C-alpha cells in the first residue's frame, strides 16, 4: 500500500487521551498570542488586586498590630510570585475550552500549595498559601466572567493528528494562512449576472451524522457540527474558495480563481488536505465523548458549472449548479467503498497532479452508458512528503492496478500484495484482491 503506516486508523483511546492536552492548549484558531497574553495579564493583575484587597481586609480585622504588619510585609514579598501564578492560571482559562480540564488544572495547582508551604518550612522560609490560593481562584474565574460580557469564545484549535484521517505523518501541510471569508471582487461581480465558468467544487460530507445524533446529546452534537462547518468555511476562504452550502450533513465550496502560480484545482486540493488535518481534533474529541469519530469524506470535481445567485428574492446566495458539482458529491460518498478520504475527478487530477501524491482508484460511471467510465483518484498527502518505503509501495500499487486492468490476475495479485502496508490494512487493495478472486472463480466456472 502506498500510504504511510498507520493510515487506516484503528481506535486508540489511550493515545487520544495522551494527546488531548496538546489540542486543548493549541491556539492556532484563537486570537493571536499577543492578544491572549494581554488578556491573561489583565486578568492576572485583576486577580492579584482582588487578593490584595482581601488580604488587607483580613489583616485589619486582626486586633494585634504585631500580627497584621508582618502579614502585609510577607504579601508584598510574594507579589511577583502571585503575578506569575495569576498569569499562568489566566492563560489556561483563556486557552482551554473544556471546563473539566480547567478544573483539573486548578485543583492540581491548589493541591501544590500545602506542599510548597511544607518545603518552605524545611528551609525556614515563611510561605502563607492563602494569598496564592485567592490569586489562583481569581485568575481561573475572571476570564470566564469577562467572556460572558463579550463575544463568544473562538473555536478550539485542531490537533495535528493526520493518521486518524488517513494523511501521511509529514511536515505541515501548508504554510500558515490568514483566513478571510470575504468574497473576491471577481466573485462579487459574477453574482450580478449568471454565467458558465470553469471551477473546482469541493464537497465535504459527514457520513455518520445520523449515528452521532443518536450518540451525542443534542447540544454537544450541534456544537461540534457548527465548529466543523466554521473550520470548513474558514479554511476554504483562506485559499480563495467561496462557500456554496452548509447543512447538518455536508459543506460545499467552489474555487473559480486561485493564488498566483496555483490553479483552482490545486487550491481545492490543498484545502481538502488542510481540512483533514484540522478536523482531526474534532474527530478525536467526538471519539472521547461517544466512542465515534467524525467520518469525514471529501470529493473534488473540476469542470464547467453555472455560477449565479440562487434562492427566493431577498434570500439569495451565490452558488454553483451543474453536473460537475453533483459529481463532487458522488465522489465524497464513493470514499466509503474504497476506505479512502479524498477522491478527485480525472480533470482535477490533471490540473493538480503536482500538488499532491495521488493514486488511481477505479473507473466509475459518471454518465449513463454509452459514455465510458471515468478514472478517479485518491489524494494521499502533500506532494513530496511520502517516505521512500511508501513511495516504493505506491509504485507496486500502480503496477498492480495496471495488471488488473489488463486482466493479468496473477501478476496483479503479486504486485498488490507487495503494496500492502506492513502494519494495518488497505481497503482499496483488499477490494481489488477480492475482485481478482471473483474473476478467477468465474473463469473456472466457464471451463
Q: Is residue 20 pLDDT above 70, yes or no?
A: no
Distance of CA 58 to the CA centre of its chain: 49
Q: For residue range 148-177, what is the model confidence (pLDDT) as tens digits?
A: 444 333 333 333 333 333 333 333 333 333
Among candidate residues 46, 55, 147, 56, the one with its CA nearest the CA of residue 87: 46
User: How much of the chain, in percent, has pLDDT values that exceed 90?
Assistant: 36
pLDDT class for 137, splitting at 50, 70, 90? confident
**Do residues 265 and 216 make contact, with C-beta atoms less than 8 angstroms apart?**
no
Query: Are 99 and 232 in the same domain?
Result: no
Beta bridge partners of 181: none
**Candidate ranges 54-58, 374-378, 381-385; pick with highest mean pLDDT:** 374-378
d(CA 273, CA 180): 18
Asked, for residue 356, whether it belongs to a domain, the answer is no
Does the global pTM surpass 0.75?
no
d(CA 49, CA 368): 74
Scan for cell 470529493, then name that residue: 299
Q: Is residue 376 pLDDT above 50, yes or no?
A: yes
Q: For residue range 282-305, what is the model confidence (pLDDT) as tens digits?
A: 888 888 877 788 999 999 999 999
Predicted confidence at residue 60, as pLDDT, reads 61
Query: Are 136 and 228 in the same domain?
Result: no
Torsion of CA 329, 331, 332, 337, to 10 degrees: 140
| Cβ partners under 8 Å of residue 203, min gap 6 | 250, 251, 252, 298, 299, 300, 301, 325, 328, 329, 331, 332
Does the CA dihedral 157-162-165-167 come out positive or negative? positive
Predicted confidence at residue 430, as pLDDT, reads 92
Asked, for residue 17, whether it belongs to a domain, the answer is no
pLDDT class for 24, splitting at 50, 70, 90? very low
Query: Does residue 75 sit in helix, strand or coil?
Result: helix
Q: Which of 115-129, 279-293, 332-346 is predicted with the least confidence, judged by mean pLDDT?
A: 115-129
Domain boundary among 81, 113, 148: 148
Query: Are 57 and 197 in the same domain?
Result: no
Predicted confidence at residue 32, as pLDDT, reads 53
d(CA 408, CA 316): 54
Query: Are 107 and 165 in the same domain?
Result: no
Domain boundary among 118, 148, 178: 148
Scan for cell 492540581, then name that residue: 108
Query: Are 137 and 38 in the same domain?
Result: yes
Query: Are 194 and 107 in the same domain?
Result: no
Q: Is residue 207 pLDDT above 80, yes or no?
A: yes
pLDDT class for 133, splitting at 50, 70, 90? confident
Asked, for residue 194, whether it belongs to a domain, the answer is yes
Asked, for residue 275, whether it belongs to a domain, the answer is yes
Predicted confidence at residue 120, as pLDDT, reads 75
Query: Are 237 and 375 in the same domain?
Result: yes
In the predicted model, what is the mean pLDDT of residues 295-317?
89
Query: Does residue 250 sit in helix, strand or coil?
Result: strand
In the predicted model, what is the mean pLDDT of residues 229-249?
90
Q: Provide the strand spans (E) within 95-207.
A: 195-206
How many contiguous H segments (helices) and E segments (strands) does the chain have?
Answer: 15, 8
**DSSP string of 208-235, one letter each residue:** THHHHHHHS-HHHHHHHHHHHHHHHHHH
Cell matching residue 302: 473540476
What's the domain range around 60? 33-148
Predicted confidence at residue 158, as pLDDT, reads 36
Q: Which of 21-25, 160-164, 324-328, 406-410 is predicted with the least confidence, judged by mean pLDDT?
A: 160-164
**Do residues 254 and 200 make contact, with C-beta atoms less than 8 angstroms apart?**
yes
Phi first, then psi: give them for residue 261, nearest 5 degrees: 75, 15
Asked, for residue 388, whether it belongs to a domain, the answer is no
d(CA 252, CA 180): 17
d(CA 205, CA 229): 10
Query: Are 189 and 117 in the same domain?
Result: no
Angle in degrees, 0-180, between the axes of helices 409-418 and 427-446, rounded to the nearest 10: 160
| Cβ partners under 8 Å of residue 429, min gap 6 | 1, 397, 400, 416, 417, 419, 420
- pLDDT, averaged across the chain: 77
**Do residues 339 and 427 make contact, with C-beta atoms less than 8 angstroms apart?**
yes
Query: Are 111 and 166 in the same domain?
Result: no
Predicted confidence at residue 419, as pLDDT, reads 93
370 prior amide bond cis, ω within 30: yes
**Do residues 36 and 91 make contact, with C-beta atoms less than 8 angstroms apart?**
yes
Asked, for residue 130, whether it belongs to a domain, the answer is yes
Identify the CATH number of the domain in which residue 292 sits. 3.30.70.1230
Domain boundary among 148, 174, 203: 148
Q: Which of 21-35, 336-350, 375-389, 390-404 is predicted with the least confidence, judged by mean pLDDT?
A: 21-35
b/e sequence 166-189, b meaning 16+ C-beta within 10 Å:
bbbebeebeeeeeeeeebeeebee
Query: Are 178 and 132 in the same domain?
Result: no
Among candidate residues 428, 407, 331, 357, the one with its CA nearest the CA of residue 8: 428
Domain count, the chain: 2
Q: For residue range 46-79, what is the model confidence (pLDDT) as tens digits?
A: 777 777 777 667 666 654 555 555 555 555 667 7
Phi first, then psi: give them for residue 252, nearest 5 degrees: -135, 135
**Candidate ranges 75-84, 115-124, 262-271, 289-298; pick with highest mean pLDDT:** 262-271
DSSP symbol at 157: P
Asked, for residue 357, whether it belongs to a domain, the answer is no
Predicted confidence at residue 150, as pLDDT, reads 41
Query: Are 169 and 49 in the same domain?
Result: no
Q: Is residue 362 pLDDT above 50, yes or no?
A: yes
Asked, for residue 4, whether it belongs to a domain, the answer is no
d(CA 100, CA 94): 14
Among candidate residues 184, 206, 304, 318, the one with its CA nearest the CA of residue 251: 206
Predicted confidence at residue 346, as pLDDT, reads 94
Query: Are 319 and 193 in the same domain?
Result: yes
Cell matching residue 163: 493518521
Amino acid at each position: 500500500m502506498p500510504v504511510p503506516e498507520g493510515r487506516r486508523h484503528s481506535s486508540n483511546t489511550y493515545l487520544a487521551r495522551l494527546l488531548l492536552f496538546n489540542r486543548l492548549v493549541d491556539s492556532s484558531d484563537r486570537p493571536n498570542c499577543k492578544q491572549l497574553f494581554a488578556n491573561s495579564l489583565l486578568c492576572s493583575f485583576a486577580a492579584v488586586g482582588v487578593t490584595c484587597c482581601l488580604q488587607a481586609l483580613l489583616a485589619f480585622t486582626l486586633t494585634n498590630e504585631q500580627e497584621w504588619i508582618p502579614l502585609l510585609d510577607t504579601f508584598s514579598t510574594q507579589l511577583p510570585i502571585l503575578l506569575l501564578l495569576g498569569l499562568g492560571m489566566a492563560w489556561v482559562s483563556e486557552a482551554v475550552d473544556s471546563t473539566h480540564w480547567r478544573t483539573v488544572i486548578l485543583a492540581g495547582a491548589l493541591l501544590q500549595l500545602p506542599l510548597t508551604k511544607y518545603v518552605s518550612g524545611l528551609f525556614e522560609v515563611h510561605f502563607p498559601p492563602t494569598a496564592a490560593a485567592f490569586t489562583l481562584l481569581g485568575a481561573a474565574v475572571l476570564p470566564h466572567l469577562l467572556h460572558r460580557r463579550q463575544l463568544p469564545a473562538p473555536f478550539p484549535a485542531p490537533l495535528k493528528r493526520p493518521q486518524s484521517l488517513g494523511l501521511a505523518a509529514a511536515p505541515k501541510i501548508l504554510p500558515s494562512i490568514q483566513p478571510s471569508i470575504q468574497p473576491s471582487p471577481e466573485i462579487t461581480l459574477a453574482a450580478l449576472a449568471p454565467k458558465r465558468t470553469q471551477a473546482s467544487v469541493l464537497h465535504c460530507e459527514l457520513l455518520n451524522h445520523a449515528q452521532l445524533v443518536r450518540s451525542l446529546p443534542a447540544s454537544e452534537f450541534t456544537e461540534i457540527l457548527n465548529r466543523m462547518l466554521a473550520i470548513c468555511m474558514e479554511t476554504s476562504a483562506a485559499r480563495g474558495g467561496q462557500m456554496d452550502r452548509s447543512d447538518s450533513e455536508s459543506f460545499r465550496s467552489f474555487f473559480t480563481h486561485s493564488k498566483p502560480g496555483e490553479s483552482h484545482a490545486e487550491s481545492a486540493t490543498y484545502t481538502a488536505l488542510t481540512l483533514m488535518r484540522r478536523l482531526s481534533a474534532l474527530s478525536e474529541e467526538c471519539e472521547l465523548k461517544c466512542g465515534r469519530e467524525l467520518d469525514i469524506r471529501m470529493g473534488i470535481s473540476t469542470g464547467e458549472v453555472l455560477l449565479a445567485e440562487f434562492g427566493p428574492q431577498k434570500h439569495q446566495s451565490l452558488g454553483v449548479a451543474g453536473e460537475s458539482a453533483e459529481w463532487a458529491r458522488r465522489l465524497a460518498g464513493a470514499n466509503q467503498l474504497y476506505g479512502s478520504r479524498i477522491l478527485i475527478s480525472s480533470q482535477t487530477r490533471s490540473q493538480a497532479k503536482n500538488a499532491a501524491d495521488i493514486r488511481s482508484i477505479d473507473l466509475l460511471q459518471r454518465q449513463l452508458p454509452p459514455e465510458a467510465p471515468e478514472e478517479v483518484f485518491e489524494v494521499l498527502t502533500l506532494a513530496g512528503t511520502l517516505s521512500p518505503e511508501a513511495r516504493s509501495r505506491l509504485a507496486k500499487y500502480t503496477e498492480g492496478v495496471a495488471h488488473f486492468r489488463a486482466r493479468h490476475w496473477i501478476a496483479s495479485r503479486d504486485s498488490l500484495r507487495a503494496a500492502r502496508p506492513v502494519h494495518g490494512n488497505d481497503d482499496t487493495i483488499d477490494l481489488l484482491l477480492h475482485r481478482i478472486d471473483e474473476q478467477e472463480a468465474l473463469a473456472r466456472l466457464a471451463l
